[in-house]
Amino acid sequence: MQCSVQWPQKLSEPQSLSERFPDEWEPLLAELQEPRYRSVQIFRWIHKRGLFNSAEMTDLPLSLREELLKRGLSAPTAIVGRRISSDKTRKLLLEMNDRRRVETVLIPHTSSPQSELFSLSQEDELDGNDSRDSRRVTQCLSCQVGCAMGCRFCASGKVGLIRQMTAAEIVSQISAAQGELKETERISAIVLMGIGEPLHNYGAISRALLLLSHPDGQAMSLRRMTVSTCGLVPEIDRLAKDFGGEVQLAVSIHSADDAVRSDLMPINRKYPVREVVEAMRRYPTGTHERITVEYTLIRRINDSENDARRLVKLLRGVPVKVNLIPMNPIECTQLEAPPEAAVDAFYNHLRGAGMMVFLRRPRGDDIAAACGQLALGGELRRNLA
Applying CB under 6 A, the residues found at the interface with ligand SAH are 151, 153-154, 193, 197, 228-230, 252, 294, 296, 325, 327-328, 330, 371-372
Q: Is 3 a catalytic residue?
A: no
Q: Are 331 and 312 in contact (CB under 8 A)?
A: no
Interhelix angle 202-213/167-178, rounded to 10 degrees, is 40
Q: Are 230 and 254 in contact (CB under 8 A)?
A: no
22 vs 362, beta carbon nearer ligand SAH: 362
34 vs 294, beta carbon nearer ligand SAH: 294
Quick one: residue 377, left, alpha or beta (phi over 0 = left, psi -120 to 50 = alpha)? left
Question: Nearest-5° angle of CA 257, CA 253, CA 207?
Answer: 145
Cα dihedral 355, 106, 94, 28 sign: negative
Cβ at position 147, least distance to ligand SAH in Å: 6
Cβ at position 151, least distance to ligand SAH in Å: 6
Residue nearest to ligand SAH (CB): 372
Q: Are 282 and 309 in contact (CB under 8 A)?
A: no
Q: Is 371 a catalytic residue?
A: yes
* Active-site residue identified among 103, 116, 169, 197: 103
Residues 6+ apart with CB under 8 A from 328: 337, 362, 365, 370, 371, 372, 373
153 vs 283, beta carbon nearer ligand SAH: 153
210 vs 301, beta carbon nearer ligand SAH: 301
Cβ at position 155, least distance to ligand SAH in Å: 7
Question: SS3 of 6, please?
Answer: coil
Closest CA to 137 of 110, 164, 158, 168: 110
- 195 secondary structure, DSSP code: S
* Active-site residue identified among 140, 151, 154, 371: 371
Cβ at position 38, least distance to ligand SAH in Å: 38
Cβ at position 105, least distance to ligand SAH in Å: 11
According to DSSP, the β-strands at 320-326 and 356-359 are parallel
68 vs 279, beta carbon nearer ligand SAH: 279
Tell me the catalytic residues: 103, 371
